Amino acid sequence: MNSIITKIEQKKRLNFDEALKLYDLDLFTLGTLADNIRVQMWGKKSYFNINRHINPTNVCKDVCKFCAFSASRKNPNQYTMSHEEILKIAQESQSKGVKELHIVSAHNPNTGLLWYLDIFSKIKKEFPNLHIKALTAAEINFLASEYNHSYEEIIDMMIESGVDSMPGGGAEIFDEEIRDKICKGKVTSDEWLQIHKLWHKRGRHSNATMLFGHIEEQKHRIDHMIRLRDLQDETNGFNTFIPLVYQRENNFLNVDGFLSSSEILKTMAISRIVLDNIPHLKAYWVTSTINLSLISQEFGADDLDGTIERESINSAAGAKSANGMALSEFVSLIKNSGYEPVLRDSLYNEIKSY
């Protein structure tokens, strides 16, 4: 173990076996190693943005077992928003100071391709200052296969319609055996990585998530991180890594028990150490809880996402995030935890320090 610690201190890259061994370290040693990296990169700054999540439809062709958001036997309330409804939300958001719209839908085969894409041009035309972070690689894969387009064609249409960056959703866990058990039929791991690669090749940025705390093992998380690290070496297009803690209510996965907080913090810290080429690590308070996200700042995380305003995907599965958080509360929570809240834009340009 000492040789692994020395490697980390000398900023040398860890291989799969070394990274997996980090789970054997005690929490505080691991936290200190990750915190040293975080402080060297970002000092005591904790980034966030003022954002609004919009989930325009929950009608979905795919059946991911962990998902409580899509309309199904467990959630019979189907909805699909009109463009007018979405524009109204964009209008309200802008007037409240929102800087980013995070727009992610289910895979609805009934709307047509233009319903998905035209809304972005309409938003850009009326609200050119709002950053549009939209369409996961899973949605791009769905649109490409449903409407007979290549990934490149869908990506070009997104750019023409005004999408600025891509969110990190749909990555789940890359290991093919686990992926088959939790979301068979959806975008494959290679396809997810290929779509982000093509997006990065257009000079655009994206994020990457990892859904953990369900049926995967520690080795699958490390494998996931290393596949992302390999792609980042090629493209340098990922801004942020976001470990999402699995929420277990109202879905078909039947996982008993939650991950322990120390396992979540260890995974945060290991992510910071292993992903030496992805600049930011997000503690997404929606799935980690706000308290654990604040503690995660000492375990490598430098970003707490944002105020969110509305959230449907994780709150459907039990997260306490349906109504977001007030800006003043968010800022004082970060300050009171000993960090410097820094309002950022979607590409991490600093707007204001509190």
Question: Which value, to the nearest 10 degrees, does the dihedral of the CA atoms of residues 273, 197, 172, 110 take?
Answer: 160
In the region spanning residues 223 to 252, those forming contacts with ligand V47, defined by CB under 6 A, are 242, 244, 246-247, 251
Interface residue with ligand V47 among 209, 267, 288, 297 (CB under 6 A) is 209
Contact segment (CB under 6 A) with ligand V47 among 65-73, 148-156, 229-237, 325-333 equals 65-73
Nearer to ligand V47, 18 or 172 (CB): 172
Tokens of 14: 């860890």
Q: What is the maximum alpha-carbon separation in the chain?
A: 60
Determine, following the binding rule CB under 6 A, whether residue 105 of this chain makes contact with ligand V47: no
Least Cβ distance, residue 318 to ligand V47 (angstroms): 7
Asked if 116 and 105 touch (Cβ cutoff 8 Å), the reply is yes
Least Cβ distance, residue 339 to ligand V47 (angstroms): 19
Determine, following the binding rule CB under 6 A, whether residue 58 of this chain makes contact with ligand V47: no
Interface residue with ligand V47 among 42, 66, 199, 212 (CB under 6 A) is 66
Angle value at C-alpha 325, between 106 and 49, nearest 5 degrees: 75
Contact segment (CB under 6 A) with ligand V47 among 14-22, 28-36, 55-63, 311-319 equals 311-319
DSSP per residue, 200-239: HHTT--EEEEEEESSS--HHHHHHHHHHHHHHHHHH--EE
DSSP per residue, 17-67: HHHHHGGGS-HHHHHHHHHHHHHHHHTTEEEEE-EEEE--B---SS--TT-
Determine, following the binding rule CB under 6 A, whether residue 57 of this chain makes contact with ligand V47: no
Contact segment (CB under 6 A) with ligand V47 among 75-83, 173-181, 184-192, 309-317 equals 309-317
Determine, following the binding rule CB under 6 A, whether residue 284 of this chain makes contact with ligand V47: yes
Determine, following the binding rule CB under 6 A, whether residue 222 of this chain makes contact with ligand V47: no
How far, in Å, CA of 339 to CA of 141, rounded?
39
Interface residue with ligand V47 among 49, 271, 314, 315 (CB under 6 A) is 314
Nearer to ligand V47, 251 or 307 (CB): 251
Which residue spans within the chain are E strands per DSSP? 45-49, 51-54, 100-103, 131-134, 206-212, 238-245, 280-281, 303-306, 340-344, 350-353
Determine, following the binding rule CB under 6 A, whether residue 300 of this chain makes contact with ligand V47: no
Q: Which residues bind ligand V47 (CB under 6 A)?
A: 66-68, 167-170, 172, 207, 209, 211, 242, 244, 246-247, 251, 284, 287, 305, 313-314, 317
